[in-house]
Amino acid sequence: MIKKLIKSLKKETYNIRLPDNRNRKSKQTRRKPTFIVFLNIILLLIMSYIYLKKTPEQSYASTSFSRNGIDFRISMSREKEFGNVMLLMSIKSSKKQKIFFQGKIADASLDFKNEIILKQIIGAGISEIDFQENEVITKSELIDNKNFTNFFKNHTGLEKRWNNPLSLLDKRTVPITTTITIYLPETEKKSFIFNYEVSR
């Protein structure tokens, strides 16, 4: 009789403890997924920070045209280290001649969606150039990257991407229309697209 009573007490004790063990296991299984999610968020933030701190890749665009034995080539490139934009114009004459300008060689107008970002003079104060045969001259202007970052900082034309955090890891470029006005006796205009990598 006593043995049967002991056996029944053991069963009751086991049945009482069993729910506690199950509850403990369920709590542990709940904690693990929460920790994994938290760890993934931290890793994503670290990856985003590293990516956004990277220097932009070099972009390049150019256009050219010829007129009366004069070859003009205009190019834009972006520095890798500081992100500044280099505007370069080369002029080559196939023969010995004097070329006249209207007080400057050219203007560069940069715009995004018909909004002007900036205007840059190329060869200010130059009214004439005396070329030798096949001589090439170059004029360059360095455009500070702050002109672009300030323009795009709160620009409404850029789509917000915070609703999709993964999209922050994608490179995003915007087309900047560059219009070059060359001040020969008869003004000449040329336009081309420069793809600029936006940091936000």
Percent of the chain predicted with pLDDT > 70:
68
User: Given this model, what pLDDT does residue 50 score?
Assistant: 54
pLDDT band for position 68 (cuts 50, 70, 90)? confident
CA 186/CA 172 separation, integer angstroms:
39
Domain ranges of the chain: 1-54, 60-197
Q: Which of 6-10, 167-171, 188-192 has the lowest mean pLDDT?
A: 6-10
Percent of the chain predicted with pLDDT > 90:
51
Q: What angle do CA 177, 190, 103 make, to 5 degrees?
A: 110
Determine the average pLDDT of the residues in 56-78.
87
Q: Which residue in this structure is represented by tokens 């420069």?
A: 194
Strand-pairing partners, residue 141, are 87
Instruction: Choose between 12 and 116: higher pLDDT.
Output: 116
Whether pLDDT at 117 is above 70: yes
Give the ranges where the chain is alpha helix by DSSP (H).
2-53, 146-152
Q: For the domain 60-197, what is the CATH superfamily, name and number?
A: Immunoglobulins (2.60.40.10)
3-class SS at 164? coil
- pLDDT tens digits along 139-172: 999 999 999 999 988 777 665 554 445 444 456 7
